Amino acid sequence: MRSSEPWPFRTLIHRRRPRSCSAKGQEHAIFEAAPLHAVGSNQSAAMPGRTATATLVSLALATAIHLDFHVARPTTHHLSLGLPWHWLLAIPVFALVAWYVALSWPARVLPASLWIVGIAIVAGGVLEPAWEYFLGDAGWDWAFGPTRNTALATFVSTGLVTYVAVLAWLRRRTPSPVAG
């Protein structure tokens, strides 16, 4: 299906035909975001692109979680900044991820959020420190100690509050897809 819309919106918005369309003035089309299973023949074309983008967004969020530890830990360590307000960096990062999920999966926000954010937290907060512990010759306290866990908890909790607030704000701003 060719579309004259710009690239990001071609795969994100699906146009459905009206449920009941009579010849007496109901010729207008109802535009609404379709769930993943209702996309029909365009589903095979849209899903790989959306899945690849979601993977990249999840990896970017995991990278931000890891980089937050570098921003938070004391400056006596290599590649560290020692900023006490490091958790404020979670606000723009999680806000952008919430915006992406709300735009890409308007009908399936919760499952998409759980997958994207959950994988990022596991990758950035568990797998990366485990990599440092097992392969990078880091000690247990360095990889999973209170400094890292405190930085992770404050960053993720601030990010999740921001994430939910942005999703609620976007849901409030967006009109209902079905005009009544």
With respect to residue 153, please indicate whether it lies within any of the assigned structural domains: yes
With respect to residue 24, please indicate whether it lies within any of the assigned structural domains: no
With respect to residue 38, please indicate whether it lies within any of the assigned structural domains: no
Residue-range definition of the domain harbouring residue 128: 48-173
With respect to residue 31, please indicate whether it lies within any of the assigned structural domains: no
| Structure token pair of residue 151 | 């930085």
What's the pLDDT score for residue 101? 95
pTM for the predicted model, two decimal places? 0.68
* Pairing outcome for strands 30-31 and 15-16: antiparallel
With respect to residue 35, please indicate whether it lies within any of the assigned structural domains: no
Q: How many domains is the chain partitioned into structurally?
A: 1
With respect to residue 33, please indicate whether it lies within any of the assigned structural domains: no
Q: What is the pLDDT along the chain (180 residues), one digit of tens a residue?
A: 445 544 444 444 444 444 444 444 444 433 344 444 444 444 445 667 788 999 999 999 999 998 888 888 766 666 667 777 888 899 999 999 999 999 999 889 999 999 999 999 999 999 998 998 998 888 888 788 888 899 899 999 999 999 999 999 998 887 655 544
With respect to residue 3, please indicate whether it lies within any of the assigned structural domains: no
d(CA 70, CA 76): 11
With respect to residue 8, please indicate whether it lies within any of the assigned structural domains: no
